[in-house]
Amino acid sequence: MSAQLAVLKCPVFADVPEVVPPPHPDDLAYRFTMPVGPLSPRIARASTRVVLEAYGMRDMVDAAVQVVGELVACAWQFTPDEEAYVSLRYREGELEIVLYDGHRRHGHPKLVAACDARRRGALRVLGCVVRACRGEWGFGEAREPGGGTRMWVVLPRWSARGYSGVG
């Protein structure tokens, strides 16, 4: 019994408040890496939903979940069986969603144009969601080590509410 009391009185836990305040949207900054496969869009959507709901941002869930699912599905088309990196950040009233995949830019201009056209086609639904939310989106070469492609979306909270039918 004394061993149990020693654990409960551990000084490391002495400063932990009894009531932890809920997270604030302005503190939202989550990143995760995931394998790209057939279940990846579903897992990414579920993860995004949990994060946004935990931060009290239910009004953005529908639009953000759709966007994340489309980005991950696109990454799967271009880099099957590799990894993708997803970032969710909320700043100044906007949710920024970024996905990096391992598909490197081609060396020949015609291949670059064809590949970009194929990616734009794969992201048609995403484009519709972003337009409905009056946001912005794009993709291009990732400048980070390892290269690949960076796809990004910015969703203003005030307009994403309308997408969800909240505002």
Cα gap 58→136, rounded to integer Å? 20
Asked if residue 10 is part of any domain, the answer here is no
Cα gap 116→36, rounded to integer Å? 20
Residue 17: band (very low, low, confident or very high) from pLDDT cuts 50, 70, 90? low
Total number of domains in the chain: 1
The pLDDT score that the predictor gives to residue 10 is 61
Contact of 97 with 87, CB cutoff 8 Å? yes
Residue 139: band (very low, low, confident or very high) from pLDDT cuts 50, 70, 90? very high
Q: What's the mean pLDDT in 77-99?
A: 95
Q: Which residues contact 73 (CB under 8 A, 6 or more apart)?
A: 40, 41, 122
Asked if residue 158 is part of any domain, the answer here is yes
Asked if residue 11 is part of any domain, the answer here is no
Contact of 36 with 81, CB cutoff 8 Å? yes
Cα gap 89→12, rounded to integer Å? 30
Asked if residue 147 is part of any domain, the answer here is yes
CATH number at residue 108: 3.30.565.10
Structural domain containing residue 68: 28-164
What would the pLDDT profile of 42-61 be if each residue is shown by its tens digit? 999 999 999 999 999 999 99
Residue reference for tokens 């969800």: 164
Asked if residue 134 is part of any domain, the answer here is yes
What would the pLDDT profile of 90-131 be if each residue is shown by its tens digit? 999 999 999 999 998 888 999 999 999 999 999 999 999 999
pTM of the model: 0.86
Asked if residue 13 is part of any domain, the answer here is no
